[in-house]
Amino acid sequence: MQHNSRPVISNQPGPHHDLARRVDRALTHPLRKPIAAHTQDSFAHAAEWYEDRQAPLILDSGCGVGLSTRHLANRFPTHSIIGIDRSEDRLGREHGELPANALLVRADLVDFWRLAYQAGWAPERHYLLYPNPYPKSGHLKMRWHGHAIFPTLLALGGHLELRSNWSLYVEEFALAVAQVTGRQAAVTEWTPKEDYLTPFEAKYAQSGQALWRLCVDLERT
Residues 150, 169: Cα–Cα separation, whole Å: 14
Alpha-carbon gap, residue 49 to 119, rounded angstroms: 14
Q: Is pLDDT at 17 greater than 70 in this prediction?
A: yes
Round to whole Å and give the CA distance between 93 and 13: 38
Report whether 115 contacts 152 (CB < 8 A): no
- pTM, full prediction: 0.96
Region 12-22: what's the mean pLDDT? 97
**Predicted confidence (pLDDT) at residue 49 exceeds the cutoff of 80:** yes
Contact 120, 77 (CB under 8 A): no
How large is the average pLDDT for residues 82-111?
A: 92
**Whether the predicted pLDDT of 210 surpasses 90:** yes
- Please check the confidence at residue 43 and state whether its pLDDT lies above 60: yes
Q: If pLDDT is split at 50, 70 and 90, which confidence band does 4 have?
A: confident
CB 185 within 8 A of CB 216: yes
pLDDT-above-90 percentage for the chain: 90
pLDDT tops 90 at residue 96 = no
* pLDDT score at 92: 81
What pLDDT does residue 2 have? 52
CA distance 94 to 220: 35
Residues 6 or more apart from 211 whose CB is under 8 A from it? 163, 164, 165, 189, 190, 191, 192, 201, 204, 205
Q: Is the pLDDT of residue 26 over 70?
A: yes
The predicted structure's pLDDT at residue 90: 87
Where does the pLDDT of residue 95 fall: very low under 50, low under 70, confident under 90, or very high at 90 and above?
A: confident
pLDDT of 1 over the 70 cut: no
Name the nearest CA neighbour of 184 among 146, 215, 220: 215
Average pLDDT value over all residues in the chain:
95
For domain 19-218, give the CATH number: 3.40.50.150
What pLDDT does 3 receive? 65
Per domain, the residue ranges of the chain are 19-218
* Cβ-contact 115, 149 below 8 angstroms: no
